[in-house]
Chain A
């Protein structure tokens, strides 16, 4: 599988603040690539750099094998995007908005084709309503129709499920699965809804304070054969020193504040619990942490 996005050493500083710090990642062709990070982690800045809305301070971006700084137009012709909330022209109708953005992508679509595109996101019946009369969910769906209007190969979605009700979220999830599995699109998606990301993403990139802290295949990162254990103690550093003197040393993922994250085979867990009990440290709790949410929080909550 060839790479669609290839970012190398991507850095963006705003005055003295470094929003994205030496970020390197690769997005392979086809599939859904989840992009996670807390608020202010640098996700939107990264996405804006991918769309050439922001110029990187350092680093380079190649999309479809082309350098973004020199082949912007060719790349954007094959890319569709929603950036944060999909603000559209409120004084225009859905079909007018769609036609306008299709024209900007170099397409001339007649009304029938535009209505067909709106049909895909369930808005055909409201095609001639002004956007100011739309609910947040309808605007979100129209934003997706705008992103897809020119049939792009790469779809970049920044928080596409924001403001949607459960049905809306499910619709977007189905649409993402359809675009990825049936139409072979590559989807780069950021979202705060970790349970949703767990359902749609094949691969993950997690950033924290502008830096990459994890990247890889979802199944490898959340290996069900491996148990991720969070141990809450009085001092994680003290317990970490003790663990490092044992055979469990290479099982430590992180140790911060009062929590140590360990990763080990499921059958090793009872043995490990017995052994740390013998270390005579104050252990307040032990949790298994294998969901994406647990994994994400274990990496970012310090």
Chain B
């Protein structure tokens, strides 16, 4: 099984398209960092407007530190990274069918279940590597460029403020949560890949699902809050933000606290549930699939 997994990882990282995701992510993060480095004052001013005079008087270099830059980057990117995950997970089976290699590997003495396990595991490893790369660029490089200080997270006309020594563990958990969300997207693209003989189809469908679901998630229409949004995996993918919402007692934030841990855990459970369903369908179908391509 390990040698099969090595083969799959080897194949993924021999494909030029794999590096497109890393290059695109790097470019976007660097552009955001440059923009905030040279135009951060305006951005922070915009962010703090309406928060009251006491906030507006805080110097930009204190507010705009590495932690906030990382939060801004994740807020902008975590909904787009799934598209890059779909590039690889959507290609996992359909790409083999498209190349004509699926019939060759499926006629080797490896069970179809084993084949799917190693292929999905390889997609998960790629996803985690992409996320680690994002974490490195967004957090480590931002800290190096902007330094550290307390983190102020804007939230509907209020700020959640965390002391600098109360932040890193939140990022660690937020990235773990993001991994669960991205693995769910990888499972969706992987499931679609099993049904297709052309990798463009699963990639495009996954991207369309993410776009439509994200639009629905962000629609400010009360009717959808109870009827649709709780069932969309994209709604739950935003759960990582919960690690930066802290409890406050008499207006004072409580160090080391999380405002609504149960909501985060519920979102994680929903994402894991969706992942299990997507994989269940993929395994059920692929075991019976006639390999004609």
Contact among A55, A74, A76, A108 for B107, CB-based, below 8 A: A76
- Please count how many residues in chain A sit with their CB below 8 Å of the partner chain's CB atoms: 33
A-B contact pairs, 25 of them (CB 8 A): A48-B292, A53-B107, A53-B290, A53-B291, A54-B292, A55-B288, A72-B111, A73-B109, A73-B110, A76-B109, A77-B109, A87-B99, A88-B104, A89-B11, A89-B99, A90-B99, A92-B14, A100-B10, A103-B6, A103-B7, A104-B7, A104-B109, A104-B110, A105-B108, A146-B104
Is residue A81 within 8 Å, beta carbon to beta carbon, of the partner chain?
A: yes
Give chain B residues whose Cβ lies under 8 Å from the Cβ of A83.
103-104, 107
Most buried by A among B6, B14, B103: B103
Beta-carbon contacts under 8 Å, B249-293 to A? 288, 290-292
Beta-carbon contacts under 8 Å, A40-91 to B? 48, 51-55, 72-74, 76-77, 79, 81, 83-91
What does DSSP make chain A's interface, helix, strand, loop or mixed? loop
Q: Is the CB of A54 within 8 A of B291?
A: yes
Give chain B residues whose Cβ lies under 8 Å from the Cβ of A76.
107-109
Chain B positions near chain A (C-beta within 8 angstroms): 3-4, 6-7, 10-11, 14-16, 99-101, 103-111, 288, 290-292
Q: Is the CB of A87 within 8 A of B111?
A: no
Contact among B3, B104, B107 for A103, CB-based, below 8 A: B3
Given contacts A103-B4, A104-B7, A104-B108, contact A88 B292 (CB under 8 A): no
The residue in chain B whose Cβ has the minimal distance to the Cβ of A156 is: B107
Q: Is the CB of A87 within 8 A of B101?
A: yes
Give chain B residues whose Cβ lies under 8 Å from the Cβ of A74.
109
Give chain A residues whose Cβ lies under 8 Å from the Cβ of B16.
91
The residue in chain A whose Cβ has the minimal distance to the Cβ of B115 is: A104
Give chain A residues whose Cβ lies under 8 Å from the Cβ of B15.
91
Is residue A106 within 8 Å, beta carbon to beta carbon, of the partner chain?
A: yes
Q: Is the CB of B100 within 8 A of A91?
A: no
Contact among B3, B4, B106, B110 for A53, CB-based, below 8 A: B106
Is residue A248 within 8 Å, beta carbon to beta carbon, of the partner chain?
A: no
Q: Is the CB of B4 within 8 A of A48?
A: no
Give chain A residues whose Cβ lies under 8 Å from the Cβ of B109.
72-74, 76-77, 104-106
Give chain A residues whose Cβ lies under 8 Å from the Cβ of B11.
89, 92, 100
Give chain A residues whose Cβ lies under 8 Å from the Cβ of B3.
103, 108
